[in-house]
Structure 1
């Protein structure tokens, strides 16, 4: 486990997240596919928003259960908030927004079929 710093493009939204990046995935839903996300889920307790709460804009689609959060200045979605199947709060990190990221071997990423859920 390591603590990563993350941010939107302009830096108005900054956060820290603790993760081992062991369960990275991509999703084929219309939103994730168009954005080219690489996702990593972390428990809400392992995420800390450092700056920019008031700079975030929320977008919900499909079931509306996930709060897709965007910086209102640069439009980047650095993370999303939701709950897992047991109701636990989680944060889905946009791995591409993390600093000091190791090279990602995309062939090792799990694929989530969000399009058909």
Structure 2
């Protein structure tokens, strides 16, 4: 069973070249998906960490940076296996979004419901996004395999 209160995790990309340790500011309670063009395509569930709480253990030189649109968000990928590990958020540059699939012992399918934020109408664009920006929920329902 998933312990959403857990805050300390080791993580890695698929090939293991990039390894890190992270302290999540809200544990796994902050799990989210986003509707921006990049998040739609990568399909990751991300959780929140403060910038100073993600520490690279190995492979920092293997990370590739990708930026688009305003160039504010910084998305990091392993240059060997292509897995997205984390990104510095546009909505709050003092935070990282960390790919839950990279966290040891965690799978994105461990979350029954994942809130989805409106990344198309980003609050920084002045598009009138109100409240917490949640526009829906993705649900994983096991069929008992």
* TM bin (shorter chain): 0.7 to 0.9
Bigger relative contact order (CA 8 A; separation at least 6): 1
Which has the larger Rg?
2
Match for 1:4 among 6, 9, 25? 9
Match for 1:29 among 31, 36, 40? 36
Deviations 1:23-64 (A, max 9, x none): 110001111111111011111122111111111111101111
2:111 corresponding residue in structure 1: 104
RMSD: 1.6
Q: Give me the whole-angstrom Cα distance separating, in 2, the residues matched to 1:43 and 1:27.
A: 19
Q: Give me the whole-angstrom Cα distance separating, in 2, the residues matched to 1:72 and 1:112.
A: 28
Match for 1:74 among 73, 81, 84? 81
Unaligned runs of 5+ in 1: none
2:140 corresponding residue in structure 1: none
Name the SS for the 1:54 alignment partner: helix
Unaligned runs of 5+ in 2: 1-5, 123-145
Aligned residues: 113
- Report the TM-score, using the length of structure 2 for normalisation: 0.71
Q: Give me the whole-angstrom Cα distance separating, in 1, the residues matched to 2:102 and 2:9.
A: 10
